[in-house]
Amino acid sequence: MRHLMSPLDLSIEELDNLLDLANDIENHPRKYAHACDGKKLATCFYEPSTRTRLSFEAAMLNLGGSVLGFSSADSSSAAKGESVSDTMRVISCYADIAAIRHPKEGAALVASQKSLIPVINAGDGGHQHPTQTLTDLLTIRTLKGCLDNITIGLCGDLKFGRTVHSLINALIRYANVKFVLISPDELRVPDYIREDVLEKNNIPYEELERLEQAMPMLDILYMTRVQKERFFNEEDYIRMKDFYILNKEKMELAKPDMLVLHPLPRVNEISVDVDDDPRAAYFKQAQYGVYVRMALILTLLKWKGDTTC
Please give the residue ranges that form the binding site for ligand CP (CB under 6 A): 49-52, 123, 132, 263-265
Q: Tell how far CA 221 is from the center of its chain.
A: 15
Residue 69 near residue 120, CB atoms below 8 Å = no
Which sign, positive or negative, has the C-alpha torsion 236, 132, 251, 183? positive
Backbone angles phi, psi at 208, to 5 degrees: -130, 160
Q: Which of 96, 104, 32, 106 lies closest to 67, judged by CA?
A: 96
Shortest distance in whole angstroms from residue 2 CB to ligand CP: 22
Q: Rounded to 10 degrees, what is the CA torsion of 243, 245, 249, 251?
A: 110
Report CA torsion sign: 275, 277, 283, 285: negative
Give me the least distance between CB of 289 and ligand CP, in Å please: 8
Residue among 123 and 126 whose Cβ is closer to ligand CP: 123
Nearer of residues 96 and 136 to ligand CP, judged by Cβ: 136
Task: Using the minimum distance from each CB to ligand CP, give the nearer residue, 7 or 309.
Answer: 7
Residue 66 burial by Cβ neighbours in a 10 Å radius (0-12, 13-18, 19+) = middle
Q: Which residues are catalytic?
A: 51-52, 80, 101, 129
Tell me the closest approach of the beta carbon of residue 307 to ligand CP, in angstroms.
31
Name the residue nearer to ligand CP (CB basis): 100 or 309.
100
Distance CA 233, CA 218 (A): 33
Q: Closest approach of Cβ 47 to ligand CP, in Å?
A: 8
